[in-house]
């Protein structure tokens, strides 16, 4: 089995934060504004885990083909009423702070067993030097059915937790029950342990796969005995409604001691999008974005019983935005093996990579595809732990499988990997909806065997500002043809109007959709200034251009 490296990779250095944090409200910790000192804050010193025992467990899990763990939990009970320091401000509001340390950790993560904030309350977490800050987290981060919450990694072995409470606010919940001690495969290592043969997705090898790359994310999984790493992808469904379905491997959802993920743990998983290098040989990422939490939808039992094709489908809890610029990857359940394609993944939790195959897939047993990777101009893409669950794309840019395991690595580029087959995912291991993909990815019961991918839906008026901001035309001025660029969203059945200076509609088109670029023929228009409007679902988006 492929080892499963798993962690929230934040691209930052100690002095420059080059990432987007978890979904939060903008702002600054109140203690910063009031210049409250951190040296006065009481410190809770938690015990360092037995790393000799942890190393032995990890070695045994690797020998058995289990997942790749990169963090373990230290249990605690930390609340504003039993620890920390209160500061009361002139307006009657209050700030509670506490310092938490576990010696020698590469990074820490905070996990809440009871989190329910009231409007006006804001929570931040940051390093004592204030160079790394996440938050603010508010009532928007509440999970009402199961009141848990989690943070992404915070570098170093010490963190300050700060909670602002407005005057008169009561009946809130804020309890940390465990702190993750991250001991390997974090973005804060000086020498990340990932093979040197991998190919960054920004390289030319990724040029034909730019949309597909946007759908793949890195996942940090909370399981019973720690945190693990995997990869996965957003997938489209026949309703074309941008349901936030995320597909990965079932073995990613099972801990090293064989315990499957619970609903509460799944709400603490994090999904990092756009964690990828900015240059082909680069080691620095551009901005990436984290979503927290998901809901279980369907899986087989591969992680526990080796039965099935190894799939796990969840639905992301938080909303996707145009800042993420996501893509819902298409899929194929054809039983004809792909003749070429790629895998897109996060090996060892590293920045996103692309691996290429140029020989026809072969079957492995009755449930998997077997693939051999090819050398390309900038390396020889393979897979590693952390790649598990990632999508395999055929020559038509459709997902045909998810990574279960294999033998390839940078020292064994000629050895194969195996991917659970998409057609087997669809039929699953029974008739129950939670044991097969078809009810979720083909809710219209269309029985199609292929479905193309799509951009983010324009679902309501809340998207107006984002769509209007991203809408542009080029070249401008134009002569014969103008490109309508709507790179963040996909509009279904829009109506395009071109309006002249007398407010007369001089050109109208009704395409089935606008996806990325749409070319509009304007050669019959007379030279002059025009307004271009796009109407979809009763909402009008406008821009302008000049015809030469």
> What domain range is 170 assigned to?
30-182
Residue 92 placed within a domain: yes
**Residues 162, 241: one domain?**
no
pLDDT digit string (tens) for 487-532? 667 887 889 999 887 878 899 999 988 877 889 999 999 998 888 8
Residue 419 placed within a domain: yes
Is the Cβ–Cβ distance between 403 and 68 less than 8 Å? no
**Residues 141, 263: one domain?**
no
**Residues 420, 474: one domain?**
no
CATH of the domain at 502: 2.60.40.3080
Is the Cβ–Cβ distance between 329 and 234 less than 8 Å? yes
Q: Which of 58, 157, 300, 310 is catalytic?
A: 310
**Residues 137, 246: one domain?**
no
Q: Which of 31, 388, 390, 404 is catalytic?
A: 388
**Residues 346, 249: one domain?**
yes
Is the Cβ–Cβ distance between 262 and 268 less than 8 Å? no
Is the Cβ–Cβ distance between 4 and 230 less than 8 Å? yes
Name every residue whose Cβ is closer than 8 Å to that of residue 546 and which is 6 or more positions away in sequence: 476, 477, 478, 528, 529, 530
For strand 107-116 and strand 154-155, is the pairing parallel, antiparallel, or unpaired? antiparallel
**Residues 417, 489: one domain?**
no
Is the pTM for the entire model greater than 0.75? Answer: yes
For every residue of 203-240, DSSP letters joined together read: SGGGGGGHHHHHHEEEEEEEETTEEEEEEEEEB--TT-
Taking the CA atoms of the chain, what radius of gyration do you get in angstroms? 25
Q: What is the pLDDT of residue 519?
A: 92
Q: What is the pLDDT of residue 7?
A: 29
Cα angle for residues 22, 26, 28 (degrees, 5° grid) = 105
Does residue 374 sit in helix, strand or coil?
Answer: coil
Among the three residues 375, 407, 441, which one is the final residue of a domain in this structure? 441
Query: End-to-end distance of the chain based on CA atoms, in angstroms?
Result: 61
Tokens 């992808």 found at: 233
For every residue of 89-131, DSSP letters joined together read: -TTS-EEEEEEEE-TT-SEEEEEEEEEEPPTT-EEEEE-TTSS
Number of domains in the chain: 3
**Residues 260, 228: one domain?**
yes
310 catalytic residue (yes or no): yes
For strand 481-492 and strand 454-457, is the pairing parallel, antiparallel, or unpaired? parallel
**Residues 239, 340: one domain?**
yes
Among the three residues 384, 411, 441, which one is the final residue of a domain in this structure? 441
For strand 245-248 and strand 226-234, is the pairing parallel, antiparallel, or unpaired? antiparallel
**Residues 176, 221: one domain?**
no
Nearest to 97, CA basis, from 89, 73, 146, 178: 89
251 catalytic residue (yes or no): yes
Q: List per-residue pLDDT tens for the chain, 548 residues long.
A: 443 322 232 223 333 333 445 678 888 999 999 999 888 899 999 999 999 999 999 888 888 778 889 999 999 999 999 999 999 999 999 999 999 999 999 999 999 999 999 999 999 999 999 999 999 999 999 998 899 999 999 999 999 999 999 999 999 999 999 999 999 888 776 556 789 999 999 999 999 999 999 999 999 999 999 999 999 999 999 988 899 999 999 999 999 989 999 999 999 999 999 999 999 999 888 888 889 999 999 999 999 998 999 999 999 999 898 889 899 999 999 999 999 999 999 998 899 999 999 999 999 999 999 999 999 999 999 999 899 999 999 999 999 999 999 999 999 999 999 999 999 999 999 889 999 999 999 999 999 999 999 988 875 445 566 666 667 888 989 999 999 887 667 887 889 999 887 878 899 999 988 877 889 999 999 998 888 888 877 677 778 888 89
Among the three residues 182, 217, 236, which one is the final residue of a domain in this structure? 182
* Cα–Cα dist 180/162, whole Å: 18
Nearest to 464, CA basis, from 414, 538, 514: 538
* Cα–Cα dist 255/332, whole Å: 30
Residue 191 placed within a domain: no
Residue 283 placed within a domain: yes
H/E stretch holding 540 reads: strand 539-547
Burial (0-12, 13-18, 19+ Cβ within 10 Å), 91: exposed
For 213, phi and psi rounded to 5 degrees?
-60, -35
**Residues 246, 306: one domain?**
yes
145 catalytic residue (yes or no): no
Residue 425 placed within a domain: yes
**Residues 118, 156: one domain?**
yes
Q: What is the pLDDT of residue 373?
A: 98
Residue 363 placed within a domain: yes
Residue 452 placed within a domain: no
CATH of the domain at 362: 2.40.10.10
Nearest to 227, CA basis, from 108, 344, 350: 108
Q: Which of 83, 198, 211, 251 is catalytic?
A: 251
Residue 196 placed within a domain: no
**Residues 366, 302: one domain?**
yes
The DSSP symbol for 388 reads T
The DSSP symbol for 157 reads S
CATH of the domain at 98: 2.60.120
């Amino acid at each position: 089995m492929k080892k499963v490296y798993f962690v929230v990779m934040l691209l930052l250095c100690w002095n420059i934060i080059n990432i987007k944090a978890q979904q939060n409200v903008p702002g600054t910790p109140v203690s910063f504004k009031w210049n409250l000192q951190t040296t006065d804050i009481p410190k809770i010193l938690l015990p360092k885990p037995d790393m000799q025992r942890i190393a032995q467990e990890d070695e045994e899990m690797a020998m058995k083909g289990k997942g790749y763990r990169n963090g373990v939990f230290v249990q605690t009970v930390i609340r504003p009423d039993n620890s920390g320091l209160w500061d009361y401000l002139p307006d009657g509001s209050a700030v509670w702070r506490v310092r938490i340390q576990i010696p020698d950790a590469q990074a820490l993560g905070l996990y809440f067993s009871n989190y329910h904030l009231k409007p006006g309350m804001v929570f931040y977490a940051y390093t004592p030097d204030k160079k790394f800050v996440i938050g603010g987290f508010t009532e928007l981060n509440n999970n009402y059915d199961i009141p848990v919450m989690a943070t992404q990694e915070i570098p170093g072995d010490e963190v300050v937790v700060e909670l602002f409470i407005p005057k008169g606010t009561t009946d809130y919940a804020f309890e940390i029950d465990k702190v993750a001690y991250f001991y390997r495969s974090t973005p804060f290592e000086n020498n990340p342990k990932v093979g040197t043969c991998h190919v960054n997705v920004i390289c030319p090898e990724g040029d034909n796969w730019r949309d597909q790359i946007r759908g793949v994310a890195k996942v940090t999984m909370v399981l019973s005995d720690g945190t693990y790493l995997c990869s996965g992808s957003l997938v489209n469904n026949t309703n074309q409604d941008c349901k936030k379905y995320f597909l990965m491997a079932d073995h990613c959802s099972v801990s090293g001691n064989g315990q499957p993920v619970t609903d509460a743990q799944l709400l603490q998983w994090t999904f990092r999008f756009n964690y990828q290098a900015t240059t082909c040989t680069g080691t620095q990422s551009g901005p990436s974005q984290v979503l927290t939490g998901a809901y279980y939808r369907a899986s087989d039992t591969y992680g526990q019983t080796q039965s099935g094709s190894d799939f796990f489908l969840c639905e992301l809890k938080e909303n996707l935005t145009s800042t993420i610029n996501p893509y819902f990857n298409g899929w194929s359940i054809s039983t004809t093996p792909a003749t070429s394609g790629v895998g897109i993944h996060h090996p060892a939790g590293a920045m996103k990579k692309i691996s290429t195959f140029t020989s026809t897939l072969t079957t492995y047993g009755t449930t998997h595809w077997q693939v051999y990777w090819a050398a390309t101009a900038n390396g020889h893409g393979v897979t590693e732990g952390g790649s598990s669950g990632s999508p395999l794309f055929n020559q038509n840019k459709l997902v045909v499988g998810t990574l279960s395991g294999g033998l390839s690595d940078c020292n064994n580029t000629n050895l194969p990997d195996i991917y659970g087959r998409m057609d087997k995912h669809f039929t699953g291991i029974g008739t129950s909806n939670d044991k097969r993909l078809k009810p979720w990815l083909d809710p219209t019961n269309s029985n199609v065997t292929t479905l193309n991918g799509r951009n983010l839906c324009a679902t309501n008026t809340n998207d107006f500002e984002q769509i209007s901001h991203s809408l542009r035309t080029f070249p401008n001025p134009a002569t014969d043809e103008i490109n309508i660029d709507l790179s963040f969203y996909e509009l279904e059945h829009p109506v395009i109007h071109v309006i002249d200076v007398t407010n007369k509609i001089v050109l109208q088109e009704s395409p089935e959709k606008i996806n990325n670029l749409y070319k509009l023929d304007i050669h019959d228009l007379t030279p002059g200034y025009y307004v271009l409007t796009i109407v979809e679902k009763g909402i009008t988006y406008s821009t302008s251009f000049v015809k030469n």
